[in-house]
Amino acid sequence: MKVVQEEGKVLSNLEVATSIFLLDLRLPQAAKIAQPGQFLHLRISPLCDPLLRRPFSIHRTKPEKAEVSILYQVVGRGTELLSQKRPEESLDCLGPLGRGFTIPKGAGQFILVAGGIGIAPLIFLAESLLQKKGKGVVFLIGATSENYVLYKKELRCWGATVEVATDDGSEGHRGPVTDLLMQRLDRFAGNPQIFACGPEGMLQKVTQIALQRGIPCQLSLEQRMACGLGACLGCVVNTRSGYRRVCVDGPVFPASEVIFE
Ligand SMILES: Cc1cc2nc3c(=O)[nH]c(=O)nc-3n(C[C@H](O)[C@H](O)[C@H](O)COP(=O)(O)OP(=O)(O)OC[C@H]3O[C@@H](n4cnc5c(N)ncnc54)[C@H](O)[C@@H]3O)c2cc1C
Ligand code: FES
């Protein structure tokens, strides 16, 4: 794995929904080689607070413009400081890191299931699938309310079928996005492949649905990280083949491998 350390220049850092920011960085090398599902490990402050880098999925790339975007939610000290970054400031970026999604041959339909900020890596995957295949991408967006439903129009424009579920029923189906997944699988007899990213409870439910129906499924997992390079074992998850490091063995794992605790 080629690891790149680059100084990323902030191009813009905009709040796209309450506490959700889209950060565009000029990051030429990462923009060229990043694959959907990989992540960047960002040193948010040159000082010691926060001491550790923070991991963020690569949300989109524009190789021709040498740009990489991340989509992030402010949840604590690191992301709060990140939200204060202004154009022209720079960020020490490590990456792209980790193993991303694998695109299997022969799948009849790609079903992407996003819960909350879990949409971040799936947009990169959807763009890439639609560029390669042109169709056959179903994107299920789960959000707390209509204000947090992102990328619906863009995804439709790119050729994806989009369905929405919100917790409060303000848009689309009222209830968990996994309801939409079950409905879709009930209607589709082909050869689907599921990709999911979101809160652990959602991933657990997606796994249960996929395993019951014998459908291949890949999950992008989030775990607290330190080194991001496989050395500290700070990010391990339990799998059927033993403990695995999310930073180098993942963050994407086959759902059939993951043991939820
Ligand atoms: C591979 C990977 C990709 C990720 N991609 C994204 C992304 O695209 N967008 C995004 O918004 N976030 C993403 N995350 C989560 C993100 O790294 C954390 O939200 C961030 O590190 C929090 O830093 P903080 O200093 O603001 O919060 P802290 O002050 O460190 O913690 C605040 C709260 O967030 C929780 N938290 C912290 N780190 C994580 C973590 N790694 N996973 C789950 N919960 C955590 C803590 O338990 C605590 O409750 C990703 C995590 C991983 C491992
Ligand atoms: S964060 Fe150190 S091994 Fe994964």
pTM > 0.75: yes or no: yes
Is the pLDDT confidence value at 1 over 70?
no
The pLDDT of residue 190 is 81
Shared-domain flag, residues 46 and 171: no
What is the average pLDDT across 111-125?
98
Q: Is the CB of 227 under 6 A from ligand 2?
A: yes
**Closest atom, ligand 1, to C-alpha of 55:** 17
Shared-domain flag, residues 30 and 144: no
Shared-domain flag, residues 39 and 130: no
Provide the b/e sequence for 212-234 (b: ≥16 CB within 10 Å). Answer: eeebbbbbbbbeebbbbbeeeee
> What's the domain range around 23?
5-97
- pLDDT, tens digit, 9 for 90 and up, residues 228-256: 999 999 999 999 999 999 999 999 999 99
Shared-domain flag, residues 133 and 89: no
Q: Is residue 243 in some structural domain? A: yes
The pLDDT of residue 42 is 97
CATH of the domain at 11: 2.40.30.10
Ligand 2 pocket, mutate which of 97, 227, 249 (most atoms under 8 A from CB):
227
Shared-domain flag, residues 177 and 251: yes
DSSP 257: G
Is the pLDDT confidence value at 48 over 90?
no
SS3 state at 218: strand
Is the pLDDT confidence value at 105 over 90?
no
- Torsion sign across C-alpha atoms 214, 160, 105, 246: negative
Closest CA to 145 of 116, 178, 183: 116
Shared-domain flag, residues 142 and 48: no
What is the average pLDDT across 82-105?
95
**Distance in Å, CA 115 to ligand 1 centroid:** 14
Query: For the chain, what is the domain count?
Result: 2
User: Considering the chain, what percentage of its residues have pLDDT values greater than 70?
Assistant: 99
What is the average pLDDT across 9-34?
97
Asked which of 74, 97, 120 is the last residue of a domain, the reply is 97
- Residue 106's pLDDT band (boundaries 50, 70, 90)? confident
CATH of the domain at 183: 3.40.50.80
Give the pair of three-digit tokens for residue 253. 């794992």
**Closest atom, ligand 2, to C-alpha of 230:** 3
Whose atoms come closest to the Cα of 236: which ligand? 2
Q: Is residue 104 in some structural domain? A: no
Q: Is the CB of 251 under 6 A from ligand 1?
A: yes
Whose atoms come closest to the Cα of 53: which ligand? 1
**Closest atom, ligand 1, to C-alpha of 56:** 5
Q: Is the CB of 231 under 6 A from ligand 2?
A: yes
Shared-domain flag, residues 77 and 130: no
Q: Is residue 102 in some structural domain? A: no
**Closest atom, ligand 2, to C-alpha of 227:** 2
Shared-domain flag, residues 113 and 93: no
The pLDDT of residue 215 is 95
Shared-domain flag, residues 29 and 130: no
Asked which of 70, 97, 124 is the last residue of a domain, the reply is 97
Asked which of 68, 97, 126 is the last residue of a domain, the reply is 97
Residue nearest to atom 36 of ligand 1 (CA): 224
| Of the candidate ranges 1-5, 38-42, 69-73, 192-196, the one whose mean pLDDT is the lowest | 1-5
- pLDDT, tens digit, 9 for 90 and up, residues 169-211: 999 999 999 999 999 999 877 889 999 999 999 999 999 999 9
What is the average pLDDT across 53-75?
97
**Distance in Å, CA 76 to ligand 1 centroid:** 8
Shared-domain flag, residues 76 and 116: no
Shared-domain flag, residues 245 and 154: yes
Shared-domain flag, residues 83 and 201: no
Q: Is residue 103 in some structural domain? A: no
Q: Is the CB of 37 under 6 A from ligand 1?
A: no
Q: Is residue 183 in some structural domain? A: yes
The pLDDT of residue 2 is 65
The answer to whether residues 195 and 125 touch, using CB atoms and an 8 Å cutoff, is yes
Q: Is residue 253 in some structural domain? A: yes
Q: Is residue 127 in some structural domain? A: yes
Is the pLDDT confidence value at 3 over 80?
no
Q: Is residue 22 in some structural domain? A: yes
